[in-house]
Amino acid sequence: MKKLLTVILFILLFQTSLYSQFELGNTLQKIGNQYAQKYLEPMTTGLGTNLNSGFLGGYGPSAYSKIPIWPHIYAGVKFCEVIMQDVDKSFNLSYQSTENINGVPVQVNWTVNDAPTVFGSTTPAVATGTYNIGGTQYTTEKTLIGGIENTKFVPLLIPQIGVGTIFGTDLIIRGLPSIGYGNYGTFTLFGLALRHNLGGYIKELPFDIAVQGGFQKFGITDKNANKFVNATSTFVNLQFNKTFTIISIYAGAQYENYSVDVNYAYISSLGNVNVSFTQKGENSFRGIVGATLSLGFIKFNTDLNYGSKFAFSAGLGVGI
């Protein structure tokens, strides 16, 4: 029963994208540092874009009040999806590695073209290598890895709670405890954001205006308890909200940062090699436009995000 509930929760919350990331722990063991960085670039940008989405809408800034504490509560889920481009599905790379050839360590110069990234074709790439022994040049080939999932869409579903307002300030919390999935490992997610309504300082505006900043941590641990992905994201935004009876229109400008530390053991022909590197997502600035529909306690919102990658966000929850 517990296993069944875990599977159901997994499907509801992270769909196929995080299942693929658990498979990623085994896949990375077959490639070295340079290759892994190119292979993971789209995932770094896609996951970072998703994590920094969904903080506007649904739980909009409450109108400024002179009352210090004004009840304002929201509980729901946020669905975020990034649309990747064709260029994110493959790459070319030339690199070097030391290989065991006939019992002798030899430096090999490798070239691979149209190699799939983590979101590319599941057919493994084939690298062509050249090396020199005793003044004679030889050619060899090596089968590498394919993509985990051939897709242009990177989804994420995140539970989120908002509470406030105290002197015009709201707290937003999102995340999940450590959840295991069979032999693939566990993942964790935690994030929070503070939003302050500026209505008390800018009088008689025809709309609400607020400033918000947030921080999140995300990790993936393999079945051997090795955390091979450890990510952090931060953001700050300026948001605007105008309510018309049951519909609110909102917009925002957001600056953000996302970085991920990757650590794993590369199983080479000469033995295991520890690989460790840090990557940053392409996403740094985005514009956001969207709307919230309020039907009593039910809140539904959807928005479009324009940045280095186009993203879609939607939310469903209850609140006052």
Per-residue model confidence (pLDDT) at position 21: 55
Give the 3-state secondary structure of residue 50. helix
DSSP secondary structure code for residue 66 in this structure: S
Condensed to tens digits (0 to 9), the pLDDT of residues 13-44 reads 444 455 555 577 788 889 999 999 999 999 89
Q: How far apart are the first and last CA of the chain?
A: 35
Condensed to tens digits (0 to 9), the pLDDT of residues 156-169 reads 888 999 998 888 89
Per-residue model confidence (pLDDT) at position 177: 74
- At the second CATH level, the architecture of 2-32+54-86+152-319 is Beta Barrel (2.40)
pLDDT exceeds 60 at position 11: no
Condensed to tens digits (0 to 9), the pLDDT of residues 91-118 reads 999 999 999 888 889 999 999 999 999 9
Pairing of strands 271-280, 247-268: antiparallel
Residue 23 CB-half CA count within 13 A: 13
Domain ranges in the chain are: 2-32+54-86+152-319
Q: Which residues of 234-260 are buried (b: 16+ CB within 10 A; e: fewer)?
A: bbebebbbeeeeeebbbbbebebebeb
Condensed to tens digits (0 to 9), the pLDDT of residues 170-195 reads 999 998 777 665 544 577 889 999 99
Per-residue model confidence (pLDDT) at position 137: 93
- Is-cis flag, bond preceding 6, omega within 30? no
Give the 3-state secondary structure of residue 52. coil
Name the pTM for this structure. 0.85
pLDDT exceeds 70 at position 65: no
Condensed to tens digits (0 to 9), the pLDDT of residues 274-300 reads 999 999 998 899 999 999 999 999 999
